[in-house]
Amino acid sequence: MIDMGLARRDPEGIRAALRSRGGRTLPDFEELLRLDAEHRRLLAEVEGLRSRRNASSALVGRAKTSKNEAEAERLISEVAQIKSLMAIQEEALASLSERTRLAALGVPNPPHNSVPPGASDADNPVVRVGPAARVFDFEPLDHQTLGERLGILDFAAAARLSGSRFALWRGAGAKLMRALITFQIERHLQAGYQETWLPFLVRPEILQGTGQLPKFEAELYRVAARGAEKGHELYLIPTAEVPLTNLVREEILEASALPTRLVACTPCFRQEAGSYGKDVRGLIRNHQFDKVELVWITRPEDSLAALERLTRDAEEVLKILELPYRVVELCSGELGFASRKSYDLEVWMPSEGRFREISSCSDCGDFQARRMNARLRRGPGQALEFVHTLNGSGVAVGRLFAAILENFQQADGSVLLPESLAPFFGSRRIPPPA
């Protein structure tokens, strides 16, 4: 949620920031300013009525003390009229408060001033490049074809169970997925993260806290609970960022205890709509996928440096696995709704001859903290401040699986895994089809 104090002081600055994002949410911001001004006007009216009521009520007592019954009756009638008008105005104020709150939830985070301007991914500057892509002396297969030939991926069975855009791993495929998850978690534990095992269903306000609701309602899976929980709406999480970040919801943290660094692996559920060409095949864009997520909670002055560290932690996974990758900084027009600054990690996919996103690392500033009311205390008597939150994929497991199959496939149809995976998988080789 944007800082309304800043929006009132510098609306033109917010407008410029939203234009740099493409300008689509400018009407939302203008509506927010209108509602906020109306809310403040009505609040002043209610406070004025409250003051008049209190003053008139005090005069009633004085009139009765002086035995001026006519004046007392007039004042009592005046107080009753004020109370009646207050009830109407307070009801209008409550309605307007809710409309203003909902309008504020629809305005994205203004980009940090260090974010490069741009409109599309063509404007994302490359920050770093990892190992060079392998040169094949045969035509590399895409991961779906390769996985199905090896008998480790079964999309037909997944479709029979759940429909399109679901995946099923068998044998060595399931084992490799488990190895990739364990490898990543262990790597991040060594880097100082705390492992967390989370619920996969959350309440609507938890999704509001990180910015998925109300904007991305159409992409979420909603579950209506029954029995004792009837009327208790829950959603399947689209990312572990949601429950991880909300662990500090309504909390007051000691500044000296920050940063908090958390890691979790969860399934993620998203209703991917529309057609994405080749993305309808394979593991690139599924309705259910597994992801290792990293979350930081920091002091405001530390969050930009934390973003660099978080990105390096995710990048280290690709580096150790010897995968060709690059790091790009997102331009203003490509930023996610809650992010003020982001980096994407992209891994090379030989079958497509291009890089594919495998991680997005974002600094959300105090945007999510304002929605969650997550604050920090620097010391006794000091004003409370909002914390800063950051998140990043560390990394998406299905896409990592796909990248390893494609980059480490051999001419005979086998896959020679990176040496660093051997202790987790039990060997280095997935043998060719019989």
Q: pLDDT tens across 261-280, in order?
A: 999 999 999 997 655 555 67
Reported as a single tens digit per residue, the pLDDT across 191-203 is 999 999 999 999 9
Catalytic residue among 315, 334, 399, 406: 399
Pick 57 or 141 by higher pLDDT: 141
Q: What is the pTM of this model?
A: 0.92
| Range 121-430 classified under CATH 3.20.20.70 | no
Q: What is the pLDDT of residue 172?
A: 98
Catalytic residue among 31, 45, 316, 357: 357
Is 316 an active-site residue? Answer: no
Reported as a single tens digit per residue, the pLDDT across 113-131 is 999 999 999 999 999 999 9
Q: What is the pLDDT of residue 291?
A: 98
Instruction: Over range 152-163, report the average pLDDT.
Output: 98
Reported as a single tens digit per residue, the pLDDT across 351-410 is 999 999 999 999 999 999 999 999 999 999 999 999 999 999 999 999 999 999 999 999
Q: How confident is the model at residue 18 (pLDDT cuts 50, 70, 90)?
A: very high
Q: What is the pLDDT of residue 72?
A: 82
Q: How confident is the model at residue 79 (pLDDT cuts 50, 70, 90)?
A: confident
Catalytic residue among 303, 351, 360, 362: 360
> Phi and psi (nearest 5°) for 27?
-60, -35
Residue 275 is given by DSSP the state -
Q: What is the pLDDT of residue 65?
A: 84
Inform me whether the pLDDT recorded for 231 exceeds 80.
no
Catalytic residue among 170, 285, 312, 428: 285
Poorest-confidence range of 78-87, 93-102, 296-305, 424-433?
78-87
d(Cα 323, Cα 327) in Å, to the nearest integer? 13
Inform me whether the pLDDT recorded for 75 exceeds 90.
no
Catalytic residue among 53, 165, 261, 270: 270
Q: How confident is the model at residue 226 (pLDDT cuts 50, 70, 90)?
A: low
| Superfamily classification of domain 4-105 | Serine-tRNA synthetase, tRNA binding domain (1.10.287.40)
Q: What is the pLDDT of residue 400?
A: 98
Is 360 an active-site residue? Answer: yes
Instruction: Please return the burial class of 348, using the count of CB atoms within 10 Å of its CB with bins 0-12, 13-18 and 19+.
Output: buried
DSSP H helices in 108-171 = 143-150, 155-162
Domain boundaries, the chain: 4-105, 121-430
375: left (phi over 0), alpha (psi -120 to 50) or beta: beta
Is 357 an active-site residue? Answer: yes
Q: What is the pLDDT of residue 352?
A: 96
Query: CB under 8 Å to 292, separation ≥6 — which residues?
Result: 181, 184, 185, 188, 263, 264, 265, 393, 394, 395, 396, 397
Reported as a single tens digit per residue, the pLDDT across 293-344 is 999 999 999 999 999 999 999 999 999 999 999 999 999 999 999 999 999 9
What percentage of residues in the chain have a pLDDT greater than 70? Answer: 97
Q: What is the pLDDT of residue 58?
A: 86
Poorest-confidence range of 80-89, 179-188, 220-229?
220-229
